[in-house]
Structure 1
Amino acid sequence: MSRCRSVMIGVLLLAVLVGCSRPTTYNQRIYVFGTLVDVTVWGIPEDQARARVDELAQAFQGMHTAWHAWRPGALGDLNEAIAQGRDVEVAGDLVPLLRQATDLYLKSDGLFNPAIGRLIALWGFHKDDPLDGRPPPAPEVVATLVSSDPGMDDLIIEGNRVSSRNRDVQVDLGGFAKGYAVDWAITSLRRNGVEHAIVNAGGDLRAIGSKGEQPWRIGVRHPQGNGVLAAIEVQGDESIFTSGNYERYNEHQGIRYPHIIDPRTGQPVQGVTSVTVIHHNGAEADAAATALVVAGVKEWPRIARQMGIDRVMLVEENGIVHMTPAMAERVAFQGQRPPVQITPLP
């Protein structure tokens, strides 16, 4: 007999691994990056799969330490040096992250901006702990920081030495590092002979291959409830990343302040509940999902085109769903179909 095996994949996605459950499926859960990372490997002996995933777990812990913006580590040391107006030699594996983050910052017209760590901290979103209902920061304090215009293009990278033209830059890779780590993990698994796997970091994932003759079937969680909004089948090599404003937020005197900050205003983004993208690269998908939330209903098609993302689903707070034609071909809504607008990219 066959049986269905389902795996809850965290914050914004539900992955249902559809097919015949066999002993060659191996799953391990790792807590890192402030979230649960699920690694599922199919088609190789369990002892080999366990060894490969154990290697990933060790590497993930090293990345988490090195890339944390406020704790001791490579990125924390860089931020301290920037605040003091000096350059610093950083670990070699941090430089590619900074370069790719800068490239995505430029492609997004600055809407994906890891340099606004000070703004993130100002709103209290720099902590792993639940938010405490604190009042929002004073408008004049936010305005002063926004006026200094910190951006990734302020960084000066010369070999492994990094400095900044702007002391208000504080690099926070939280909207990008998980995607980069997922890409690294898939590359590592492939290098070690794994052809079929899912690496899911807190609801954002990259899948390769398939589960036997069946595709990986991914459920996109409904941003206004606990159910599934839509299902997407993945077979081959694709990443699905979602950025949303409905699970991590601060609420003060009945007003909700989501954690995604618009770098142009210094204010939490309102009006968009979530953005889901499908792309071949996890880091690019991760950054794009955040940028498109910030872009909002009017600007997301232009920013998606600039970032090379052709499969996008944006959900407004009023429940209206916007999709590119390419995404509409892949999405199967579950339950009652929401109002949908199909928007070609310019």
Structure 2
Amino acid sequence: MDTLSLNIMNTNFYIEISGQRNVNWQEKVEQWLCYVAKEWSRFEQNNELDTLNQLKIGETLQLSADLYDCLKLADEYYMLTNQLFSPYLKYDLERHGYNQSFPFKEAARTSIQIDQTDGKPLLFLNEQRVLKMDDQQVDLGGFAKGYVVEKIAQWLQHEVAPEYGIVDGGGDMKMWSSGEKVWTIGIAHPSKNNEEMHYIKMRNGAIATSNRVFRSWRQDGKAKHHLLNGQTGEVIDSAILQTTVVTNSLCVAEVATKLCFLLHEADFQQWFDKQKLPCACFIVKEDGNSYWLKGGEQIDVS
């Protein structure tokens, strides 16, 4: 067994794999995480994401392969969810006070005012180029973390440790096992530190969790959090406190955790049925009630 632990992007990363055949895997993973933290952060100036966001309407830019791939995938889910999930919410997050890295508890009001679009803010061209279509700006947020975790897991599984492994990015996980290795994953309590609400046993799959507590603050005396409705740019008002989604792809799980807050249960299940994706979602309400919701094809959780 081999492991790696580090804190980057305000996230505790933990990786555990079977006996490996690539002695430099920790260094390669750390270098890539440092690259993503620097170039994909909306809080950094003059990085690749900032260069993209500073484009004027009608201008094009050639992106790096990974950022292009991540953003194009996020845009596909933007369309598949009828814009409920959106990577184009940077201005709205800043308008609500999320214009600095956590931790913070209070945020000043900003004067940002933008119009929501009915079209695609970016057009994806050949050779990793994008065309700016309107004034919306990109924040990849949790989707980027899920993408990064999944890419690391895919590389480790195919090039380093095919027997088993797990990549955990602050509770968003991708795991694999080709034999008898079974992972036992705890679902954290949304408001009680170091307390688990439920446990999942699985060999292969992905888990993502979103809640309204971890990244929350107050603006002009009003409670705000980082989960926004992609169609309106407003903070989601929901009786749900936390959602944990188990499925095959961590990028899908990241999107699905947001849909749980936005859709009625029947609509959520219908969305997964349409995508023909296996899914199980553990929902925690404000009143303390919790339950499993299955969507699409069944996935084995115990």
TM-score tier, shorter chain, comes to 0.7 to 0.9
d(CA) in 2 for partners of 1:94 and 1:134?
Answer: 29
Quickly say closer, same or farther: Cα 1:125–1:253, change in 2 above 3 A: closer
Q: Which amino acid aligns with 2:71?
A: L
1:122 corresponds to which residue?
Answer: 95
- The answer on whether the counterparts of 1:203 and 1:242 sit within 8 Å (CA) in structure 2 is yes
d(CA) in 1 for partners of 2:9 and 2:183?
Answer: 24
Quickly say closer, same or farther: Cα 1:183–1:313, change in 2 above 3 A: same
1:166 corresponds to which residue?
Answer: 134
Quickly say closer, same or farther: Cα 1:296–1:325, change in 2 above 3 A: closer
1:336 corresponds to which residue?
Answer: none
1:13 corresponds to which residue?
Answer: none
Q: Which amino acid aligns with 1:176?
A: F
d(CA) in 1 for partners of 2:93 and 2:177?
Answer: 37
Shift of 1:314: 2.1
Quickly say closer, same or farther: Cα 1:328–1:239, change in 2 above 3 A: closer
For structure 1, which runs of at least 5 residues remain unmatched after alignment? 1-24, 332-346
Q: Which amino acid aligns with 1:91?
A: S
1:312 corresponds to which residue?
Answer: 281
Query: Is 2:40 aligned against 1:67?
Result: yes
Summarize the alignment of residues 1-150 of structure 1 with structure 2, pairs less than 5 Å apart: 25-42=1-18, 44=19, 48=21, 51-71=24-44, 72-82=46-56, 85-135=58-108, 144-145=113-114, 147-149=115-117
Q: Which amino acid aligns with 2:53?
A: N
SS at match of 2:244: strand
Q: Which amino acid aligns with 1:32?
A: I
Deviations for 1:18-59, whole angstroms, at most 9, x for unmatched residues?
A: xxxxxxx322112222211111112x16xx576222211111
d(CA) in 2 for partners of 1:302 and 1:112?
Answer: 16
Quickly say closer, same or farther: Cα 1:122–1:306, change in 2 above 3 A: farther
What CA RMSD, in Å, does the superposition of the two structures yield over aligned residues?
Answer: 2.6
Quickly say closer, same or farther: Cα 1:313–1:148, change in 2 above 3 A: same
Quickly say closer, same or farther: Cα 1:266–1:85, change in 2 above 3 A: same
2:146 corresponds to which residue?
Answer: 179
Quickly say closer, same or farther: Cα 1:132–1:220, change in 2 above 3 A: closer
1:339 corresponds to which residue?
Answer: none
Q: Which amino acid aligns with 1:324?
A: L
d(CA) in 1 for partners of 2:181 and 2:150?
Answer: 23
Deviations for 1:151-193, whole angstroms, at most 9, x for unmatched residues?
A: 6x221111222122211x1111112111111111112112323
Quickly say closer, same or farther: Cα 1:287–1:310, change in 2 above 3 A: same
- The answer on whether the counterparts of 1:154 and 1:164 sit within 8 Å (CA) in structure 2 is yes
- The answer on whether the counterparts of 2:227 and 2:258 sit within 8 Å (CA) in structure 1 is yes
What TM-score do you get using the length of structure 1 for normalisation?
Answer: 0.76
Q: Which amino acid aligns with 1:205?
A: M
d(CA) in 1 for partners of 2:261 and 2:22?
Answer: 36
Q: Which amino acid aligns with 1:185?
A: I
Highest RCO, 1 vs 2 (Cα 8 Å, sep ≥ 6): 1
Q: Which amino acid aligns with 1:203?
A: G
- The answer on whether the counterparts of 2:94 and 2:110 sit within 8 Å (CA) in structure 1 is no
Query: Is 2:296 aligned against 1:323?
Result: no
d(CA) in 2 for partners of 1:285 and 1:93?
Answer: 19
1:219 corresponds to which residue?
Answer: 186
- The answer on whether the counterparts of 1:107 and 1:306 sit within 8 Å (CA) in structure 2 is no
Shift of 1:325: 4.1
d(CA) in 2 for partners of 1:88 and 1:255?
Answer: 39
Shift of 1:310: 2.4
d(CA) in 1 for partners of 2:79 and 2:132?
Answer: 16
Quickly say closer, same or farther: Cα 1:126–1:322, change in 2 above 3 A: farther
Deviations for 1:49-103, whole angstroms, at most 9, x for unmatched residues?
A: 7622221111111122222234222222111114x65222222322211221111
Deviations for 1:196-248, whole angstroms, at most 9, x for unmatched residues?
A: 111011110101117x844110000122423111100011x210111111111
Greater Rg over alpha carbons, structure? 1
SS at match of 2:281: strand
Q: Which amino acid aligns with 2:27?
A: D
Shift of 1:135: 4.8
For structure 2, which runs of at least 5 residues remain unmatched after alignment? none
Deviations for 1:279-314, whole angstroms, at most 9, x for unmatched residues?
A: 111112112212322336674334444453521222
